Amino acid sequence: MSKIDEVKRLAHLTKQVFTEFGPKLVAIKGYNYVKRKMSRSRPANKLADVLFINGTTLPHPERFRVDHQMEQLESQGLSCDKVFYEQLDLAMVNRYRCFVFFRTPATDLIREFIPCAKSLNKVVFFDIDDLVIDAKYTELIPYVHTMPPGEKAGYDDGVNRMRETLLLCDHVITTTEALAGELETYVPDVFVNRNVASDELVEHSAAALEAVGRDPDHVVIGYFSGSITHNSDYAMVLPALRQLLDEDAKVRLRIVGILDVPDELKGYGDRVEALDFMDWRKMPTALAGCDIQIAPLTDTIFNQAKSENKWVEGALVKVATAASNLGAFRHEIEDGVTGVLVEPDGWLDALRDLVSHPDKRTAIAEAAYQEVIQHRTTLKTGRSLAEHIRSILPRHIGYVLPTADVSGGVNVILKHVDFLQEQGCHVSIINQVDAGALKTSRRLDPDRYNEVVEHQTMVVCNFDLLIGSLWTTVETVQHYPRKLEGGYFVQNFEVDFLPSGDAERINASAHYATPRLRYLTMSPWCVKWLKELYGQDARLACNGIDLANYPVRERDFTGKVKVLVEGDSRDFNKNVDEAFTVTNGLDPAKFEIGYLSYRHAAKDWYRVDNFFNKVPPEEVGQVYAKYDILLKTSTLESFSYPPLEMMATGGFVVVRPNDGNAEYVEDGVNCLTYTGGDPQTAVAAIERLAAEPKLRETLRNGGLATAARYSWDERKADVLRLYE
C-alpha cells in the first residue's frame, strides 16, 4: 500500500470512528495508532511458544482477543508475546512455535512470513471476532453504503486482505458458534474460544462492588453501548424504555457511550443519564450502580456472531442482564436463572418484571456472578485453549550447541535436525557461542534452521525433549524448567578433550552420570564406555554421509602426488603436529601438501602448499576430491569422518587407528593404517600408495563400497528411533 493510499485509509477510518463513536474514541484510537507507529520497540528477543500479531488499533478487540488469550495460555504454562502487525519482522519466525494473527490484513511481509513459518513446522492460526472477512457480509452493513466510492474501495480492500490472511492460515480461533459456522467455509478447522474476563477486570469489578451502593428508591437500567443514536438495536428497545419511564417514577436510565441523548428521551430530565465512552477500567464502577443491564440486538448475521461480553461484565458486578434471545446470549444465558432472554416484542414485559421484582433481579445477578466467576474468567478457561493449541503443535525438540561453527559433531546434529524436520517435528537450536566469538562464528541458515543465540535471547518456550551436545551444555538442559525430558547427545569421551590435571575433567565426567537424562550417541564405542564407566544405557544410531557432497574423481598419480592433512592445529587430540612431522619428511619435488583446518591456522614449521580454512560442510567434499591421499592422525575421536569422506570421493587414506574409526577402517581393504607415534611408518604408507597402482585399485574399490554402506539414507530410520 502506498503512502497516499495509507493516508486515505486512515482518513476513512477516522471518519467512520467519529461517526459511530464520537470524538473521544477518535482521540483514543488515534493516540494508540500513533504510539504504535512511532514506537521502535519490539518484543524482547525470546524463544517462546506463541506470538500474537494484532491487526487492529481498536483497544477493546485487542484486549479480549490478544491480551485475554495470552493470559489464558500463560496461566496454562505457554509463554506468549504480542506485536502490532506493522512491527512484525521476518526474524520473529525463528523465535516462536506458534503464531496467532488477529484481524490482520495481508501485507507483503505477512505473505512471506506465514509460508516461512510453515516451512519450519510452525503452526499458524487466524483469530477473528467479527465477519469482516468477505464483502458478502460487509455489504449487509448499512453504513458501508454511505461511503463515497473511494472510501468504500479502501474499506473493501481491507476486507479482502483480511480474508487473504485467513486463507493463508490452517487453523482459526473465534468467539462464537455462529462465527465458527461461517468461518468453516473458508478454513475447516475452527475452534471456539469465547471472550472471557481478565483477572484485572475481575479485580476492578470486585472493587466496584465494594465501593458502589445502589439507591433502594430507584431502579437504574443501564445501556452500555459505543453508539446509540445510529443503532438499530436501540430503536427496538426505545418504546419499552419510554413507557417504563412514563409509568414508573423510580425507573432511571443510564446510557454509556452515547454522544447525544435522543430527542425521545430529553423530556425526562435527570432521570436519563448520559456518560461518555470510558476506559474499560472505569466501566465496572458505572455498571455497578445499575440494577438492570439491557443488551438488545436486532436479528442479523453480524449480531448472531457477537459475543456475550455485556452479560459477563454485568455479572461481575452482580447486575441482572436482559438480552436479546439470539446468538451467544442464547447459547450462554440460562433464561430466568443467569439472565433474561427477550424476544423483539417482549422488552416491555421483561423489563417490567425485573423492575417489579427486586428479589428476582438479585437471584439472577448472583447466579450469573457465580457462573462467570467459576467458568468465564481467563484463569478458569485457559485449559481448553491451551490443550487445543498443544494438540496441533508438532513435537518440539531442542538442541543446545556450544557453537554452530563447522565441525563433524555439529554437522551430525544438523543432519539429525534435517531428519526430524522432514518428519514434521519443530526443532530449535540454542547456540551458546559467547559474545566475543559471535562476530566470527558461523550462523545457520534461518530458512532451514530455527537457531537463536542464547546470550541474546530469553528462552521461555516449552520443549518435549531438550538435548545437550557437549558436557558444557548439559547443565542448561538439567536446570531448564519447561521441558518434559532432557537428553545428552554424546559424541566422544569429552573428559579427554582436557589435559590431565585440569579440574574441569572431573566436572565433564560427572555429566555422564546425570540421572533422568536420555543418553544418545552415534558410536558403538561410546555405548560401551557409557555403560561400563557410568552405568548409562545409551540409544545408538551410527553416523552417515551425504554422498552427493563428495564427487568421485579418478586419481592418476601423474606429476606431484597431492597429500591432504585435516584437523585443528591447536587440538591435541587431532594430533596435527604428527601429521606434519610426516609430510615434512616427504620429498617436496614429488609431494604437494594441503592443509584443511576449521578454526586455526598452520604453525610456522608446517610445510603447507595450500591452506583451506573454515570451508562450509557442503564444500568439504570438493577439497577432498582435489587431493589424492588423506593423512589422518587423530588419537581420540568418537566417529572419524574425514577418512570416510575421502573414501567417498574415490581417494586414498593413510590413517592412525583409533576408537573413532575402528568400526569401518580395514587395513589393506579400504585404507592403509600406520603405527601411531612412528612417523616413518606413515611416510612408508604414503610412498607405497604412490608406487603401487594395484594396491590403489583395491583400496579405491573398498573405500567406495564402505562409503556407500554409510549413506545417510541407510541411517535415517535409526536416527529417528533415537527420538521416539
Write the pLDDT tens digit of every residue in 158-176: 999 999 999 999 999 999 9
Residue 718 lies in a domain: no
Residue 447: which CATH number?
A: 3.40.50.11090
What pLDDT shows up at residue 1?
43
- Taking alpha carbons only, the member of 554, 553, 397, 412 closest to residue 483 is 397
Q: Is residue 412 part of a domain?
A: yes
Residue 473's Cβ-side half-sphere holds a number of Cα atoms within 13 Å equal to: 24
Q: Would you tell me the crossing angle of helices 309-316 and 358-375 to the nearest 10 degrees?
A: 110
Please tell me whether residues 536 and 554 are part of one structural domain.
no
* pLDDT for position 258: 59
* Rounded distance between C-alpha atoms, residue 438 and residue 403, angstroms: 9
Residue 723 lies in a domain: no
Point out the domain boundary residue: 309, 341, 376.
376
Q: Which of 158, 175, 292 is nearest to 237 (CA)?
A: 292
**Number of domains forming the structure of the chain:** 4
Share of the chain above pLDDT 90, in %: 77
Q: Which domain holds residue 528?
A: 394-540
Answer whether residue 460 shows pLDDT above 80: yes
Whether residue 616 has pLDDT greater than 90? no
- Indicate if the pLDDT at residue 313 is higher than 90: yes
HEC secondary structure over 448-466:
CCEEEEHHHCEECCCECEE
Measured CA to CA, the distance from residue 499 to residue 505 in angstroms comes to 8
CATH number at residue 239: 3.40.50.2000
What pTM does this model have?
A: 0.84
CA angle centred on 585, ends 580 and 588, rounded to 5° = 100
Residue 39 has pLDDT above 80, yes or no: no
Q: What is the pLDDT of residue 276?
A: 84
Q: Are residues 462 and 478 in the same domain?
A: yes
Residue 21: pLDDT band with limits 50, 70, 90: very low
Average pLDDT, the chain: 91
Residue 58 confidence class, pLDDT cut points 50, 70, 90: confident
The reply to whether 536 and 561 lie within a common domain is no
Tell me the β-bridge partners of 652: 629
What is the grid cell recorded at 73?
495460555
For residue 386, tell me if it sits in a domain: no
List, as one string, the DSSP characters of 91-160.
GGGGGEEEEEEESPPP-HHHHHHHHHHHHTT-EEEEEESSSTT-HHHHTT-GGGGGS-HHHHHHHHHHHH
**38-47, 116-125, 320-329, 493-502: the lowest-pLDDT one:** 38-47
Mark whether 646 and 629 lie in a shared domain.
yes
DSSP 335: B
pLDDT of 26 higher than 70: no
- The answer to whether residues 536 and 551 belong to one domain is no
The CATH number linked to 149 is: 3.40.50
Cα–Cα dist 507/403, whole Å: 20
What integer pLDDT is reported at residue 8 of this predicted model?
A: 47
- What contacts 367, CB < 8 A, 6 or more positions away? 334, 337, 338
Whole-angstrom distance, CA of residue 462 vs CA of residue 458: 13
Q: Inform me whether the pLDDT recorded for 3 exceeds 60.
A: no
Ranges 5-14, 250-259, 348-357, 454-463: which has the least confidence = 5-14
Same domain, 535 and 568: no
For residue 701 the three cell numbers come to 574399490
Cell of 495: 573428559
Band (567; pLDDT cuts 50, 70, 90):
very high
Per DSSP, the residues of 503-521 read THHHHHHHGGG-TTEEEEE
Q: Is residue 580 assigned to a domain?
A: yes
**pLDDT(17) > 70:** no
- What local confidence, expressed as pLDDT, does residue 599 receive? 79
Beta strands in 276-319 (DSSP E): 292-295
**Tens digits of residue pLDDT in 547-556:** 999 999 999 9
Cell of 79: 509463554
Instruction: Check pLDDT > 70 for residue 71.
Output: yes
200: pLDDT strictly greater than 50: yes
Residues in contact with 531: Cβ distance below 8 Å, sequence separation at least 6, in sequence order? 537, 538
Within-domain flag for 388:
no
Q: What value does the mean pLDDT take over residues 16-34?
A: 47
| Cβ count near 75 (within 10 Å) | 17
38 and 174 belong to one structural domain: yes
> Are 433 and 498 in the same domain?
yes
How much is the average pLDDT of 565-577?
Answer: 91
Within this chain, do residues 525 and 562 fall inside the same structural domain, yes or no? no
Residue 586 burial (CB count, 10 A): 20
pLDDT of residue 34: 47
Q: Is residue 384 part of a domain?
A: no
pLDDT higher than threshold 90 for residue 378:
yes
Same domain assignment for residues 255 and 155: no
Query: pLDDT tens digit string along 576-599?
Result: 999 999 999 999 999 999 999 987
pLDDT at 139 over 90: no
Answer yes or no: is pLDDT of 76 > 80.
yes
β partners of residue 450: 428
Whether 202 has a pLDDT exceeding 60, the answer reads yes
Q: Where residue 59 falls among pLDDT bands split at 50, 70, 90?
A: confident
* pLDDT surpasses 90 at 696: yes
Q: What is the arithmetic mean of pLDDT over 69-86?
A: 97
pLDDT at residue 440 in the model? 85
Q: What integer is the mean pLDDT of 167-189?
A: 96
Asked if residue 70 is part of any domain, the answer here is yes
Given 540, 559, 593, which residue is the final one in a domain?
540
- 227's torsion region: left (phi>0), alpha (psi -120 to 50) or beta? beta
When mean pLDDT is compared across 387-396, 529-538, 571-580, the lowest value belongs to 571-580
Q: Are residues 608 and 667 in the same domain?
A: yes
The answer on 680 and 605 residing in a single domain is: yes
Choose one of 150, 176, 192: the last residue of a domain. Answer: 192
